[in-house]
Chain A
């Protein structure tokens, strides 16, 4: 067998021009397919990153009692836990009134981890320790309030009012976040002016848990469930946003179809190129047949040629694919112009392609699987024709 491997290698090396062209073809096919599948992963990642990064985190915890601390949720794999406390009440400005959920947040932590504050359209995000409020554009319109206006909040109309300075106005484009919500410093609710609401009632908080890249969400959820009492409800982004999960599945499915179609087209090209490459040298196989090379040995030689050229080209193709993906992983591909009105790209339209074992291994494996049959037809032809026919050119 070693003799046939060596002969195949010599054939490829010494038919350098044809081998280089064929190698370049496989390299470009493999690297393009690696990039394409990495891009598909990147689009899905971007949708998840945008959706969970805006506000909710990968896992949302609801009604967590105040005896459970943030640190209790900081298990392995968790990047940050954002604590939020909600109270339902009414905002008053001049003669306007609007029912809202006032969410107390940690301004510094929100800035650090979530992207919600980036959706500010006027003014700025609230500061830690300030008695400020951050309202949505629809709420501001309904109340007729602007930045730096003083607006009041009460649990019910006629109850004691607390005054807030409008620090900023935001707009996310997502109705759940733009309708009936306002934000203030969590301390205001827990210990400050809102003591009336928080102090009298034992408060429960909500947690937005942000995970590190590549962490298994279900594993973290399992740890929470082992640690935290049963009545605390944890939901993953998949449960909170089934539409996104479905969209990602759809994207995987449609991209798989596209990749398969591209694979088939590329593979047909590779198969044809390999057949032409082999048939171009059919006389050489005829000479070998004259010297007593059996059909099985011819098939073995052809398969080794195809295998070796594929291995070499696939290695370069994978390296080249990794380089292309790495470059775009650093710079990103800015598709903001095509995503600016899409809620799943609400924070950023920049796509970062991501390599997976699937995207890395499938293209070279497919190139090999599709090119090996290319050796079969010429091999059958060579073994069926007699040597004289091949040498005469009747083959």
Chain B
């Protein structure tokens, strides 16, 4: 279970202080999927960043499987993220100097999971599942947007995280490719018993998820 209580976050700007998030509260049971929906600038990314521990809220708490992640020290937070979380961003954010295979293996090595042979098998299995086994030795610069996002998902779930956080993962893809990708990711995540939290402004995509949190100007307007 992930519990968010009274989460608020402000950013300084040229025009004063911007309220990016204001008193957000909701919970997500383990293994469910949640969509954070809202227009551009509504605070979706900020909320995801706070949940993922990439950003520190001004107030409120995020209890992730019994741990208030913002009370953790830097190193403890890094270890928590490394073991329990997988991230996918709008532009994939693959490590440009590593091949597809090395990118997917990176979190496995960080977590000291599997021996060399098993690691290779895990990577090959994931590549097979996302339908890109032939790209194992390609560099990110050689991939299309859709391929890059699929690889990013494979990397994010490679180490069996408890939470998968995806920030507008289909924003740069055409609708058909985007929906295919989400179907694939959701089926993979289900196999891994992974909680998925994604942000999107695509109403079609929201239908795939179990829960929705709607944001407008940093405020939660509806919780289903």
Contacts and interface: CB of A to CB of B under 8 A. Distances in A.
Interface string B58-89: 00000000000000001100111111010101
B19 interface: no
A353 B95 CA distance: 47
Contact of B110 (A283, A291, A388): A291
A386 B96 CA distance: 21
Chain A interface size range: 20 to 34
A3 interface: yes
A388 B80 CA distance: 16
Contacts of B52: 290
A383 B74 CA distance: 9
A14 B138 CA distance: 12
A287 B95 contact: yes
B93 A386 contact: no
Contact of A291 (B49, B56, B87, B96): B87
B74 A288 contact: no
Contacts, number: 65
A251 interface: no
Contact of B56 (A10, A14, A386): A386
Interface in B6-25: none
A291 B54 contact: no
A284 B97 contact: yes
B98 A289 contact: no
A394 B102 CA distance: 28
A3 to B, nearest CB: 6
A288 B95 contact: yes
Of A15, A287, A295, A391, most buried by chain B (CB within 10 Å of CB) is: A287
A291 B82 contact: yes
B154 to A, nearest CB: 13
A327 to B, nearest CB: 38
Contacts of A14: 96-98, 139
Contacts of A391: 54, 89, 93
A294 B49 contact: no
Contacts of B85: 292
A296 B73 CA distance: 14
Interface string A354-391: 00000000000000000000000000000100111101
A294 B82 CA distance: 9
B97 A292 contact: no
B87 A290 contact: yes
Contact of B54 (A288, A295, A387): A387
Contact of A293 (B49, B55, B94, B110): B110
Interface string B124-168: 000000000000000100000000000000000000000000000
Given A15-B97, A287-B93, A292 B83 contact: yes
A294 B139 CA distance: 25
B106 interface: yes
B109 interface: yes
B75 A3 contact: no
Interface string A293-305: 1111000000000
Contacts of B98: 7, 10, 14
Interface in B90-121: 93-98, 102, 106-107, 109-111
B95 A290 contact: no
Of A11, A389, A391, most buried by chain B (CB within 10 Å of CB) is: A391
Given A10-B102, A290-B87, A284 B96 contact: yes
Contact of B82 (A292, A386, A389): A292
Interface in B154-194: none
A309 B139 CA distance: 22
Of A10, A15, A291, most buried by chain B (CB within 10 Å of CB) is: A291
B55 A386 contact: yes
Given A290-B81, A291-B87, A292-B78, A11 B97 contact: yes
Given A10-B102, A292-B81, A388 B49 contact: yes
A292 B72 CA distance: 13
Contacts of B96: 14, 284
B109 to A, nearest CB: 6
Nearest to B55: A388
Contact of B106 (A291, A387, A389): A291
Nearest to B141: A14
Given A284-B95, A290-B87, 6 more contacts: A3-B109, A11-B97, A288-B95, A292-B80, A295-B74, A391-B89
Interface of A: 3, 7, 10-11, 14-15, 283-284, 287-296, 383, 386-389, 391
25 contacts: A10-B98, A14-B98, A283-B93, A284-B96, A289-B78, A290-B52, A290-B54, A291-B106, A291-B107, A291-B110, A292-B78, A292-B79, A292-B81, A292-B82, A292-B85, A293-B110, A294-B74, A294-B75, A294-B79, A295-B75, A296-B75, A386-B55, A387-B49, A389-B55, A391-B89
